[in-house]
Amino acid sequence: MRETTVKRQTLETDISLYLCLDGSGESEIRTGVGFLDHMLTLFARHSGFDLKVSCRGDTEVDDHHSVEDIGIALGQAFCEALGDKRGITRYGATLVPMDEALIECAVDISGRSFIAYGLDIPSQKIGTFDSELVEEFFSAFAKNAGVTLHLIQRAGKNSHHIAEGAFKAAARALRQAVSPDGRFSDRIPSTKGKL
């Protein structure tokens, strides 16, 4: 089983996170940020990863530290759970419709951290959630997971739909990328011999 537990404690947050890449999409999410709980629950379901997250953060300041640090912890767990990446498909791409929104995601588990963030979320808030934190989350995840992540908005005007489409698209692209490649189960998917 490709699984790990990460603990991250700072003066701003105290996070415990469990991730199993070979799960069934089960989740227990308690971040203290309602909208992020919703996004991570559907992320787990659509990726097929089992995910448990608990976070005590300084949300009396705002949600920024909690959201960013959870992205960091999830990225670290993802990288650790993959090990040497032997036998994975490596690449994943998907296009997800969410009502009027259409979000594309492509990932490369390359060992090189990069994010191309192409979402244009029209409102500053989604409920009480700062919409700019969607980018903060994915940026923190990509940097710490060692993945190249492209998020592209093809259509959409509802902020909730755009954000939800992004989490679902990322989940499904990552699910493809970590899937075992039966033809090359004993190989690192790179001519370098290392990812």
3-state SS, one letter per residue, for 144-190:
HHCCEEEEEEEECCCHHHHHHHHHHHHHHHHHHHHCECHHHCCCCCC
| pLDDT, averaged across the chain | 97
Here the CATH number for the domain that contains residue 45 is: 3.30.230.40
Which band of pLDDT confidence, cut at 50, 70 and 90, is reported for residue 185? confident
CB-based burial label for 101 (10 Å; 0-12, 13-18, 19+): buried
What span, in angstroms and rounded, lies between the C-alpha atoms of 30 and 20? 17
- At 70, which amino acid appears? I
At residue 192, the pLDDT reads 84
**DSSP labels, the chain:** --EEEEEEE-SSEEEEEEEETTS-S-EEEE-S-HHHHHHHHHHHHHHT-EEEEEEEE-TTT-SHHHHHHHHHHHHHHHHHHHTT-TTB--EEEEEEEETTEEEEEEEE--S--EEEEE----SSEETTEETTHHHHHHHHHHHHHT-EEEEEEEE---HHHHHHHHHHHHHHHHHHHHSB-GGGTTS-SSTTS--
Whether the predicted pLDDT of 21 surpasses 90: yes
Tokens 């993802």 locate to 78
Mean pLDDT of 26-49: 98
**Residue 80, domain member (yes or no):** yes
Is 195 a member of any domain? no
What is the extent of the structural domain holding 89? Answer: 3-184
In a domain, 122, yes or no: yes
- Write down the pLDDT at residue 186: 86
Residue 192 lies in a domain: no
Q: Kindly state the percentage of the chain with pLDDT values over 90.
A: 92
11: Cβ contacts below 8 Å, ≥ 6 apart = none
Given a cut of 90, is residue 195 above it in pLDDT?
no
Q: Residue 165: CB partners within 8 Å, gap ≥ 6?
A: 96, 97, 98, 101, 102, 103, 156
Give the amino acid at 30.
Answer: R
- pLDDT greater than 90 at residue 133: yes
Give me the amino acid identity at 119: L
Residue 164 resides in a domain = yes
Q: Is residue 40 part of a domain?
A: yes
Report whether pLDDT(36) > 90: yes
77-115 pLDDT, tens digit per residue, is 999 999 999 999 999 999 999 999 999 999 999 999 999
pLDDT at res. 68: 98
- Tell me, yes or no, whether 33 lies in a domain: yes
Query: pTM to 2 decimals?
Result: 0.97
Q: What is the pLDDT of residue 112?
A: 94
Tens of pLDDT, residues 143-178: 999 999 999 999 999 999 999 999 999 999 999 999
Within a domain: 131 = yes
Q: How many domains does the chain have?
A: 1
